[in-house]
Amino acid sequence: MTPKGEVTFMASYKLLLLPGDGIGPEVMAEVKKLIAWMNAQGMGTFETEDALVGGSSYDAHKVAVTDATMGLADAADAVIFGAVGGPKWDSVPYDVRPEAGLLRLRKDLALFANLRPAVCYPPLADSSSLKRDVVEGLDIMIVRELTGGVYFGEPKTITDLGNGQKRAVDTQVYDTYEIERISRVAFELARKRRNKVTSMEKRNVMKTGVLWHEVISALHQREFKDVTLEHQLADAGGMQLVRWPKQFDVIVTDNLFGDMLSDVASMLTGSLGMLPSASLGETDPKTGKRKAMYEPVHGSAPDIAGKAMANPIAMITSFGMALRYSFGLATAADLIDKAIAATLAKGLRTADIKSEGAKIVSTSEMGNAILGEIAALAA
């Protein structure tokens, strides 16, 4: 942030906004307000462009993301993504289902590192289904591998066996380099946090688990001996996550386990509506830049879409992660976190995090309140 009157040169950044389906556009609207405010304050110079993704893209173009939109995503400094999917598109062909748009963005932009922080704001400790002392003050980071594993492994088929039976195959594949680069991200993050990494796989039944364990252990020995490395089988890890989550600092795991474990972790924070994420590519050694997409972990929530009930916090904190990881604006990102804590402390809640005595507010009322707190804190 710049004190008023000081003249600075601020780089201009291009953001591609992909609101998507369901509550996606509703929560994205709150981020748009924040971007406009930051631009007006001189806290950033963001140029934004909107495009379709998911079901809304399918309706307009018969694909979940167009080549033109992929081009915009590739050229942007960061992509800010809402959510995709809904019952309306249940019967569209598999290759063009809404989720295919999201998966193509992740794969084609090579966003292999998915950071999913689970932070329990103190006023929300009672919104969790777990006891207050289990979640109060929780701050963990799930690092999910995002471009490999069973999501993308080939073959991926359903074959008619001709005898009234069909056979479905998904393939879990990991190469050494994929395990190594995601492990490196986890170790480097841990060094800036509480210096502990827990690796989760199922080496007791899966070859990919055996390799995962071998590769991360070797990397640890070679480059990260100063970081504590623990291993848990992914099923036991899921249990530990709800038994005593504060034992964790950084959890690193594959694409599918990471998908499941991060949904579990979201309830530690009070609601799925609280979890942001950053999906990052490799840093280009020449430019120092990396491709990045920021999206809330929650989906399109078709059941509450259009009702102004959605919680915009995960979308807003996802933008906060963009400020932190893509634009080096950590102070502004901290400001957003503080503003959210202050808004929650005043008793404002969207329906998903309601508690006794709290004031239930709409999506835009929550967004406005947070923006008000940001402005007050920045003044």
235 is catalytic: yes
Given Mn ion, ligand IPM, none, residue 99, with its beta carbon under 5 to 8 Å by kind, binds: ligand IPM
Given ligand IPM, Mn ion, none, residue 270, with its beta carbon under 5 to 8 Å by kind, binds: none
Quote the strand ranges of the chain, DSSP E: 12-20, 45-50, 78-83, 113-119, 139-145, 153-160, 166-171, 196-201, 228-233, 250-253, 278-280, 292-294, 348-349, 359-360
Given the residues 59, 133, 175, 235, the one annotated as active site: 235
Given Mn ion, ligand IPM, none, residue 102, with its beta carbon under 5 to 8 Å by kind, binds: ligand IPM
Closest CA to 152 of 135, 132, 174, 137: 174
Q: Mark the segment that binds Mn ion (CB under 5 A) among 34-42, 161-169, 215-223, 255-263.
A: 255-263
Between strands 153-160 and 166-171, the pairing is antiparallel
Q: Which of 201, 254, 259, 373 binds ligand IPM (CB under 6 A)?
A: 259
Given the residues 21, 249, 254, 259, the one annotated as active site: 259
Question: CB-based contacts of 274: which residues, under 8 Å, 6+ apart?
Answer: 119, 121, 124, 266, 311, 313, 314, 317, 353
Q: Which of 41, 48, 99, 238 binds ligand IPM (CB under 6 A)?
A: 99
Q: Mark the segment that binds Mn ion (CB under 5 A) among 168-176, 257-265, 269-277, 306-314.
A: 257-265
Q: Which of 78, 102, 215, 361 binds ligand IPM (CB under 6 A)?
A: 102
Q: Does 254 bind ligand IPM (CB under 6 A)?
A: no
Cα 97 → chain centroid = 20
Given the residues 13, 58, 151, 294, the one annotated as active site: 151
Q: Does 115 bind ligand IPM (CB under 6 A)?
A: no
Alpha-carbon distance 76 to 13, whole Å?
8
The letter for the amino acid at 195 is N
Given Mn ion, ligand IPM, none, residue 54, with its beta carbon under 5 to 8 Å by kind, binds: none
Q: Does 27 bind ligand IPM (CB under 6 A)?
A: no
263 is catalytic: yes
Q: Is the dihedral of CA 201, 205, 207, 210 positive or negative?
A: positive
The smaller minimum CB distance to ligand IPM, of residues 99 and 136, is found at: 99
Given the residues 170, 263, 334, 337, the one annotated as active site: 263
The smaller minimum CB distance to ligand IPM, of residues 273 and 299, is found at: 299
Least Å distance, CB 376 to ligand IPM, is 33
Per-residue contact string for residues 264-303; x = within reach of ligand IPM by CB under 6 A: ---------------------------------x-x----
DSSP string, 237-270: HHHHHHH-GGG-SEEEE-HHHHHHHHHHHHGGGT
The smaller minimum CB distance to Mn ion, of residues 103 and 308, is found at: 103
**How many residues make contact with ligand IPM (CB under 6 A)?**
5
Alpha-carbon distance 220 to 238, whole Å?
23
Alpha-carbon distance 226 to 229, whole Å?
9
Residue entry with tokens 């970081």: 227
Q: Does 188 bind ligand IPM (CB under 6 A)?
A: no
Given ligand IPM, Mn ion, none, residue 365, with its beta carbon under 5 to 8 Å by kind, binds: none
Least Å distance, CB 252 to Mn ion, is 17
175 is catalytic: no
Angle at alpha carbon of residue 200, lines to 216 and 105, rounded to 5°: 85
Q: Which of 26, 77, 145, 259 binds Mn ion (CB under 5 A)?
A: 259
The smaller minimum CB distance to Mn ion, of residues 16 and 84, is found at: 84
In angstroms, how far is the first alpha carbon of the chain from the final one? 11
Instruction: Reduce the DSSP state of residue 1 to 3 states and report it.
Output: coil
Instruction: Reduce the DSSP state of residue 62 to 3 states and report it.
Output: coil
The token pair that represents 167 in the structure block? 């056979």
Q: Does 31 bind ligand IPM (CB under 6 A)?
A: no
Alpha-carbon distance 287 to 291, whole Å?
11
| Active-site residue list | 151, 202, 235, 259, 263
* Chain residues that interact with ligand IPM, rule: CB under 6 A: 99, 102, 259, 297, 299
